[in-house]
Amino acid sequence: MSNPHSPLIDRYGHDAEHLVDVAGYSQLSSMIGRGSCRSFQQTEVAPELIQLLCATALASPTKSDLQQRDIVVLNDPVLKTEIVQLLSGQSWIAEAPCLLVFCGNNRRQRRVHQLRNRPFVNDHLDAFFNAAVDAGVALSAFVIAAEVVGLGCCPISAIRNAPDKVSDLLGLPAHVFPVAGIAVGYPTSTRPTVSPRLPLRATVHTDRYNEDNIDEQIEAYDARRDRQLPYKQQRRADLFGTSTRYGWSEDKARQYAQKERQNFGQFIRAKGFDLT
């Protein structure tokens, strides 16, 4: 069971226990013990607070100071409903008081080239990638900031399930694309659920990439996770049957054994990106 005093152990297991003694742990423990929130009070979040969170998010680092990310705050309830209808199977999002969409934006950069009469000669995969990463960095900063002020939130990649429809509804022009939505509100639960992560020795490398014993580490992680936060149901049992041991690896393998967002590359190319 979760130990409220040890978010590090909840998250990474006893291998990480020694880090509790590192200076700075007390300031960081709430970030380590955070969790995505999918259940919200129906209390309004002040629009000014959302703006402040956007300002905090956009103060995060941005590649070459290019500032290639934008946030669309959904105020119009009709529009919000239309967007939520595109997020198949995630009805909890309709209950979220606030919904925002983080976008990559390589459009302004291209406009700057027109303004300054300089050729844009980097029309390749990097143009898309930099804007996508910039949006992800801002999304992460938004999550951290929202949780600091007592809000709960959950990013929503399902915004890319029907990217063309989302893009039309939000009026996104060429070279602007949705990266993730985010649902925000005051959480119904006073304490977030800590979702265990892979052990740090699998994901933090020293000097050189190392995947020694990765299979054993995944098996051990499955077992730790199952003890702490077992899956409530098995993904697509209708297709894959019921496994006697159902852990993270089985869930993720089932997830990506099904085709997902096959049209996304086509959508991005239609937005004007040359992905070569």
Ligand X SMILES: Cc1cc2nc3c(=O)[nH]c(=O)nc-3n(C[C@H](O)[C@H](O)[C@H](O)COP(=O)(O)O)c2cc1C
* Cβ pair 171, 101 in contact under 8 A: no
In the complex with ligand X, which residue's Cβ is closer, 25 or 231? 231
170-189 footprint of ligand X as x/- string (CB under 6 A): ----------x---------
Q: How far is the CB of 212 from ligand X (least distance, A)?
A: 26
Q: Which residues in 209-268 contact ligand X (CB under 6 A)?
A: none
Q: How far is the CB of 110 from ligand X (least distance, A)?
A: 25
In the complex with ligand X, which residue's Cβ is closer, 20 or 144? 144
Q: How far is the CB of 111 from ligand X (least distance, A)?
A: 27
* Cβ pair 183, 74 in contact under 8 A: no
In the complex with ligand X, which residue's Cβ is closer, 89 or 241? 89
Token look-up 């960081």 returns 28
Q: How far apart are the first and last CA of the chain?
A: 48
186-215 footprint of ligand X as x/- string (CB under 6 A): ---------x--------------------
Q: How far is the CB of 234 from ligand X (least distance, A)?
A: 16
Q: How far is the CB of 157 from ligand X (least distance, A)?
A: 4
Q: How far is the CB of 10 from ligand X (least distance, A)?
A: 10
57-96 footprint of ligand X as x/- string (CB under 6 A): ---------------------------------x------
Q: Which residues in 103-162 contact ligand X (CB under 6 A)?
A: 154-158
25-44 footprint of ligand X as x/- string (CB under 6 A): ----------xx-x------
* Cβ pair 229, 193 in contact under 8 A: yes
From 232, 240, 233, select the one nearest 258 (Cα to Cα): 240
Q: How far is the CB of 96 from ligand X (least distance, A)?
A: 11
Copy the structure tokens of residue 222.
């499955």
DSSP element (H, E) containing 178: strand 176-185
From 37, 39, 19, 36, select the one nearest 28 (Cα to Cα): 19
H helices of the chain, in order, are 7-12, 25-32, 47-57, 77-85, 107-115, 125-148, 163-170, 200-203, 214-228, 237-240, 248-255, 264-270
Q: Which residues contact 223 (CB under 8 A, 6 or more apart)?
A: 247
| Binding-residue total with ligand X (CB under 6 A) | 11
In the complex with ligand X, which residue's Cβ is closer, 110 or 197? 197
237 CB neighbour count, 10 Å cutoff: 12
Binding site for ligand X (CB under 6 A): 35-36, 38, 90, 154-158, 180, 195
